[in-house]
Structure 1
Amino acid sequence: MDKKTRVLHALNKQPVDKVPVGFWFHFSGEEAVGEACMDAHVQYYQETDIDFIKIMCDGYFAFPITAEIKEAADWRKLQPLGKDHPYIREQVERAKGINERIHGECCTFYNIFAPFSCIRFGTSDELVMRHLKEDPEAVLYGLDVIAQDQAMLAELIITEGQCTGIYYCLQGGEVDRFTHDEYRKLVTPSDTYVLEHANEYSDNNMLHLCGWAGIKNRLECWQDYPAKAFNWAVYVEELGLKEGMELFGGKAVLGGFDNTKEGLLYSGEKAEVEQFTADLIRHTGNTGLLLGADCSLSGDIDRQRISWVVEAAKLVI
């Protein structure tokens, strides 16, 4: 079974010859931009023999807010960037360049942030949360505009960039930020606008329920989102892969490894990593499982350690 078939089978809860593996980290310096970034992704893929590539959006975290935002009402001035804006075109070219280099050998998923992340990255968390209290409808207007651009980015990443799908990063679900009802009212509409648009162009999109803050999320806010696979911070949420598969309606799951420097993958002995890999597969089952981490690994991890997981997964039937 080739890598592309293996990953698609895993996403669609079909039998696989082995559980697929994929880890990622942020590229920095010269490798974060341009041709060097494309080459770095491919080199990492070839060095470790992972089964799929998650393409990082390094260099494009700060969403370009096109209006001067001081007061909450200013969000009503926001206009879409449009498909020809460098923010969109350059990311599509990154995806296309990486896919051309691997000649369709494996699945690729491009990291796209949900509008609620974009609006904060483009201004600040403090400003957005304050404006949501002062004039929520104005901020919702801004989120709708950003959602149009992120939806267009998702469409072009798949159609022109030739990615299998998107890896859609959701944030803002921390238990101390919104109630369940507040999140569903204020954030879910823009979340699902982008995801449902992406689903029109690919049937194989992943969700990342980001636990970057180290604070538990209200996972139930995302429980019914229409995606093929769910990835969450197992160690932050204290929710294992098998249990999470049940929570998310039997959908495929991605993860299982702690992404921090305190985690086994970063600092454990080879035999420990191999045993953990085998135990994780046996506990979760090999149907609908993709091995990865809670979030991005530290960029200085010894890449040989990732190969340990790839090789260990081959031995578990």
Structure 2
Amino acid sequence: MAENKHQILLDTLDNKPTYRVLASFWHHFLQDERQQVFGYRDQASIDNVIKLQQRYYDTHHPDYTKIMSDNFFLHPSVIDNAFETPADLKKIQHIEPHDPWITRQVAAIKSIVDHYQGEIGSFYNIFSPWYQLRLRFEILDNDPGKIYRLFKADPQAVAEAFDLLADDLIVLTTKLIKTSGIDGIYLCVQQPQDSVISTKEWQTYIQPSEVKLLRAVQNVHDYNMVHICGFAGKHNRLGDYKDYPAKVFSWASYVEQVSLKEGKELFGGRAVMGGFDNTENGVYYRGTKEEIQAETKRLLEENGQQGILLGGDCSIPFDTDDSRAKWISEAAND
């Protein structure tokens, strides 16, 4: 009888003992960031990513998947308006539940998950309201400092925009969980990387929209993950997230220098995911089969197995050999 990796995933998230440890890694399928933002308006681009995701599953048979939001990075109201002053943030408005950004996204993810035929479980990437606005300024304006300038000028205006975005993300994630077949969302969060925003300001103006979104989606299905993103060496205060309502936590263990075991303790014993450096300097990208399998065994010996999913600190480079994940599954369960 074939093993049910989907049930093993759910048991792992519930911190139940399992007879095997699951491993998975992921990367974007679109390298053009503008296409990642505007691709939802191009059905051919959507269909291409669906096929690539399906082919990835057919070729490599991952233990579970974290599905990227390629083509659907940002809310339409965030990308269709110009923002130069805090007052401009009023241009961010709700979209209808039948907006193509929602309906095409749900349909695309359903096509990917249906292809798994129930054999594995999956998470779907969602960028938090803060992350959405930050990426808009970085990708489309080439001005990473803009979000900090707007925030310092009128933090309440920014907070109101975040709250509105959270409402629409709740509509999207509810539809995704109820109709696409994913087990939960992978909410990508990151603290401000500029000291002009204090911890207190983050807690007052940014954190509420993230918690609001998580509480709503947890009420739909409580298998959701918070990914505290340390991509490209960004640092976060992990303890600031310990009360977020989520089933599982992921962070950049190599950036933060916090092991899976330490993070599990920090997040109240909840399930955790990660362990491997996701960069070109990491053993997963550079190592031999023997080195990767030795690192797998070290991670499990030092951190335990219950309530642990093996994966990368974040998305891996485009040119990574995707077959390497099988080496980790083999070593974790031999």
Same fold at TM > 0.5: yes
Map of 1:63 onto structure 2 = 75
| 1:205 counterpart = 2:224 | yes
- 3-state SS in 2 of match to 1:271: helix
Structure 1 stretches (4+) deviating beyond 6 angstroms? 29-32
| Cα separation, partners in 2 of 1:176 and 1:310, compared to 1, 3 Å | farther
Given that residues 174 and 218 in structure 1 are in contact (C-alpha distance below 8 angstroms), is that contact kept between their aligned partners in structure 2? no
TM-fit CA distance, 1:307:
1.4
| Cα separation, partners in 2 of 1:49 and 1:177, compared to 1, 3 Å | farther
Aligned 1:266-285 pairs, distance under 5 A:
266-285=285-304
Cα deviation 1:228-268 (Å, max 9, x = unaligned): 11110001001111111111111111000000011001111
Unaligned runs of 5+ in 2: 37-44, 139-143
Aligned 1:9-24 pairs, distance under 5 A:
9-24=11-26
TM-fit CA distance, 1:61:
2.1
The amino acid that maps onto 2:277 is D
- Of the candidates 104, 118, 132, which is equivalent to residue 90 of structure 1? 104
Measure the CA separation in 1 of the matches of 2:173 and 2:196: 27
Aligned 1:176-191 pairs, distance under 5 A:
176=195, 178-191=197-210
- Of the candidates 300, 305, 308, which is equivalent to residue 324 of structure 2? 305
- CA RMSD of superposed structures (Å): 1.9
| 1:156 counterpart = 2:170 | no
Measure the CA separation in 1 of the matches of 2:207 and 2:332: 36
Cα deviation 1:97-117 (Å, max 9, x = unaligned): 112212222111110000001
| 1:5 counterpart = 2:24 | no
State the aligned residue count: 315
TM-score normalised to the size of structure 2?
Answer: 0.89
The amino acid that maps onto 1:9 is D
| Cα separation, partners in 2 of 1:85 and 1:177, compared to 1, 3 Å | farther
TM-score normalised to the size of structure 1?
Answer: 0.94
Measure the CA separation in 2 of the matches of 1:219 and 1:69: 31
Given that residues 264 and 273 in structure 1 are in contact (C-alpha distance below 8 angstroms), is that contact kept between their aligned partners in structure 2? yes
Measure the CA separation in 2 of the matches of 1:240 and 1:252: 13
The amino acid that maps onto 1:61 is F
Given that residues 158 and 202 in structure 1 are in contact (C-alpha distance below 8 angstroms), is that contact kept between their aligned partners in structure 2? yes
The amino acid that maps onto 2:21 is V
Aligned 1:12-51 pairs, distance under 5 A:
12-28=14-30, 33-51=45-63
Given that residues 75 and 139 in structure 1 are in contact (C-alpha distance below 8 angstroms), is that contact kept between their aligned partners in structure 2? yes
TM-fit CA distance, 1:179:
2.7
- 3-state SS in 1 of match to 2:269: coil
Map of 1:172 onto structure 2 = 191
Measure the CA separation in 2 of the matches of 1:4 and 1:248: 24
Given that residues 69 and 75 in structure 1 are in contact (C-alpha distance below 8 angstroms), is that contact kept between their aligned partners in structure 2? yes
Given that residues 63 and 119 in structure 1 are in contact (C-alpha distance below 8 angstroms), is that contact kept between their aligned partners in structure 2? no
Worse-superposed segment, 21-30 or 152-161: 21-30
Given that residues 173 and 221 in structure 1 are in contact (C-alpha distance below 8 angstroms), is that contact kept between their aligned partners in structure 2? no
Worse-superposed segment, 2-11 or 297-306: 297-306
- Of the candidates 67, 91, 108, which is equivalent to residue 122 of structure 2? 108
Map of 1:53 onto structure 2 = 65
Aligned 1:70-85 pairs, distance under 5 A:
70-85=84-99
Unaligned runs of 5+ in 1: none
Map of 2:255 onto structure 1 = 236
Measure the CA separation in 2 of the matches of 1:176 and 1:123: 18
Aligned 1:111-150 pairs, distance under 5 A:
111-124=125-138, 125-150=144-169
